[in-house]
Every structure is written in C-alpha cells, then in structure tokens.
Structure 1
C-alpha cells in the first residue's frame, strides 16, 4: 500500500475543521444577537413602564427676555417628579432652562411656568421628565 494515495474521500468522514469553525461562529453569533435583542427589549420596556410622568407643552408665548410655557399632562399618584423645560433661539442655541417640580399628591398637571431667557426664545420643549 502506497502512502501517496491514502487521502480520504471528500465529505465522507464529517465536516472539515473550517466548516466546524464556521458553524460554531454562526451559533455564537446567533446567541449573541438574540441576547442583544432581549437586552434592548428589556431597556425599552422599563423606559416606557417606569416613566410615570406624562407631560407635554400645550402652548407657549415668547418675549424678548422670557418664554411662558403652559404644561399639561398627568402622573401617577404618590410620586414626586420633575420635568426639564428649555427654550432655544432661532439658531438652535439654548437660551433658557428650568426644572419644574410636581408634588406627590398631584395627578393632573395643568401649570404655567415662565423661563427667563438670555435672548428671544423661539421654542419651548420638554427635555426630560423623571419620577423622584
């Protein structure tokens, strides 16, 4: 028997090392992808569920030195909370910012606040609302 012709037939005795490595990488990639999706879903769920304050800008009026902002919304009873309200100038620079706090016993929010501005503001927006 000659040693030169002892090569095994292709595909007869299982996968090659490269094919096994490719399959292992595909499995690991699938598991990591599924874990990432679960993690993103968990964060999204807690962001929506834990946000117990729902406030929006109803109207606003601007002047040269201030912006009067009418906030409306609701929050869960028994929790304190706050929203950060800001105004920007026409070029997008922030010209005023204020934290608006809500008492624990308040559930319906209907409040007018005035932001003092460094120049004329053209917008009024809520940056963030948090319980606590």
Structure 2
C-alpha cells in the first residue's frame, strides 16, 4: 500500500509557515517600494524646483590651438547669482581647458560668448553645469 497522507482540518492550526513568510515578504516589498518611490520623487522635485539657474551651449568654435569660444545661453530666476563651468576636451578626450563663468547680471536670460584658454588643441566646448548658492 502507498503512503496515506492525512489532511489537517482547515482553520484549526492557523496558517502554515510558508503562507506567513509569503505575507511578510509582500509587506516588506510594499514598504521598500513605497520608500523607494518617495526618495525618487523627492530628488525629482528637488531637481526641478531647486534649479534656479540653467544653461545651454548654442555653439562652440575652436579659434586656435590655445582657444575655444563657447556661445552660452543662461536662464535663471531674477536676482539669482551663480557660476557656470565650461570645459574643453582634446581629440583623445582629455580635458585641456576649464573656465568658471560668474553669472551676476540681473537679467533672467543671458546670451554670451565666452573664451576658454586651452593647453592643447581642443575639439569641443562643453557645459559641465551651473550652480546657484
């Protein structure tokens, strides 16, 4: 004869250990997921709402072996001061020039050409980023 398996009466002994573990795992997953979404939402809001100054490179021109001109458009809140960092790279990707540009003008839109001095021939003029105190 084969093994006879007895079935326990339902509800008499509570949930089996596997069901309790599954329930705890689901609760932990929901808590961790909610915290993750809250953190991502906070960083996203802080990035969008906290950004008081931003800029965009319109064009750049390599003028000589030691100079690059970068046409930069800066947008900011009225009265905000800050610094935008520009850099220039050579053909192999090495940084050959860097310049911090102070943004002190009262206007909310600044359209200017800045010159970066380089240590070797550059192939790019890039915006690293802008910060406001």
Into which bin does the TM-score normalised by the smaller protein fall?
A: 0.7 to 0.9
Q: Determine whether 1:82 maps to 2:83.
A: yes
Q: Tell me how far 1:111 sits from its aligned partner.
A: 1.5
Q: Which residue of 1 aligns with 2:58?
A: 58
**Counterparts of 1:49 and 1:28 in 2: how far apart (Å)?**
31
Secondary structure in 1 aligned to 2:19? helix
Deviations for 1:75-122, whole angstroms, at most 9, x for unmatched residues?
A: 111111111111111111111111111115232211111111111111
TM-score (norm 2): 0.86
Is the CA contact 1:86–1:94 (under 8 Å) kept in the aligned structure 2?
Answer: yes
What is the CA RMSD across the aligned residues, in angstroms? 1.7
**Counterparts of 1:69 and 1:115 in 2: how far apart (Å)?**
8
Secondary structure in 2 aligned to 1:106? coil
Q: Which residue of 2 aligns with 1:116?
A: 117
**Counterparts of 1:120 and 1:38 in 2: how far apart (Å)?**
46
Deviations for 1:33-87, whole angstroms, at most 9, x for unmatched residues?
A: 1111111111011111111112111121112011111111321111111111111
**Counterparts of 1:24 and 1:91 in 2: how far apart (Å)?**
54
Secondary structure in 2 aligned to 1:121? coil
Is the CA contact 2:55–2:129 (under 8 Å) kept in the aligned structure 1?
Answer: no
Is the CA contact 1:55–1:109 (under 8 Å) kept in the aligned structure 2?
Answer: no
Alignment length (residue pairs): 126
Gaps of 5+ in 2: 1-5
4+ runs of 1 displaced by more than 2 Å? 10-14
TM-score (norm 1): 0.86
